[in-house]
Amino acid sequence: MSQLSAMAALRAAKQTLRKELKKRVAALSDEEKRRQSQIVSQKLFKHPNYRSSQRIAVFLSMYDEVCTDAILQHMFSSGKVCFIPRYQSNSNHMDMLRLNSMEDMNSLPVTSWNIQQPADNDTQREEALATGGLDLILMPGLGFDKNGNRLGRGKGFYDLYLQRCMRHLKGKPYTIALAFKEQLCEQVPVDDSDILIDEVLYEDV
């Protein structure tokens, strides 16, 4: 198989899996998503890497992702330094900017993707890699397998950001994906630009 047709086949496999996973998560009730989010959050709070990390990046969850509100609250009450993504809609560039409190989060504008994030002209916030780097990144995604492969939404924001982290003095932070158990796959199709994650937290019963 030529390299081009192999890439096209991989893209098609990812698209098919994305559709399937979106369907699986859409079938979950709000109550079930809340229940699993609570279990995943509790697992995270006990996790040695979370406990020992000071500078942590976390995503502000959308309706089809593990809810991170309790995690944000826990981070602020534990005195951890919190960073959240600011995605650039016209490229695949993302920065991790400092978030100071739950009140700060509630005041953030909402993007066209219906995600809260700091405004483009908000230049006062600390960017994680411009200062001390990150100890831990909590990763979103559509699907994961137990080998650390992750299926994102196709823009490559996190893979590119992790590449930037690797060039930082501190090196690559530990990465933990937060998932509903319905997002676990036998095998996620990946290519060389996809960076492995260290661990996936989900309700494993």
What would the pLDDT profile of 52-107 be if each residue is shown by its tens digit?
Answer: 999 999 999 999 999 999 999 999 999 999 999 999 878 889 999 999 999 999 99
Query: 164 a known binding residue?
Result: no
Determine the 3-state secondary structure of 205 from DSSP: coil
Domain 3-201 architecture = 3-Layer(aba) Sandwich (3.40)
Axis-axis angle for helices 30-46, 69-77 (nearest 10): 30
Tell if the pTM clears 0.85, that is, is over it: yes
Whole-number Cα distances in Å, 165 to 30, 47, 128, 131, 138? 35, 22, 9, 12, 14
Q: 64: which 2 tokens?
A: 């089809």
Task: Please indicate if the annotation marks 151 as binding a ligand.
Answer: yes
For residue 205, the model assigns a pLDDT of 62
In this predicted structure, what is the pLDDT of residue 169? 87
**Is 132 labelled a binding residue?**
no
Annotated binding-site residue? 203: no
Nearest to 199 by CA among 129, 150, 166: 150
How do residues 115-162 score in pLDDT, each as one tens digit? 899 998 888 899 999 999 999 999 999 999 999 999 998 888 999 999
> What's the whole-number average pLDDT of the chain?
93
Beta bridge partners of 55: 81
Query: What pLDDT, on a 0 to 100 scale, did the predictor assign at position 1?
Result: 59
- The whole-number pLDDT of residue 43 equals 98
Ligand-binding site membership of 79 (annotated): no
Enumerate the domain spans of the chain. Answer: 3-201
Residue 162 assigned to a binding site = no
Question: Residue 60 annotated as binding?
Answer: yes
Q: Is 131 within any annotated ligand binding site?
A: no
Give the confidence band of 7 by pLDDT, cuts at 50, 70, 90.
confident
pLDDT at 2 over 80: no
Taking CA atoms, 205 is separated from 36, 92, 110, 181, 202, in Å, by 11, 36, 36, 9, 9
Is pLDDT at 47 greater than 70 in this prediction?
A: yes
Question: Binding residue per annotation — 24?
Answer: no
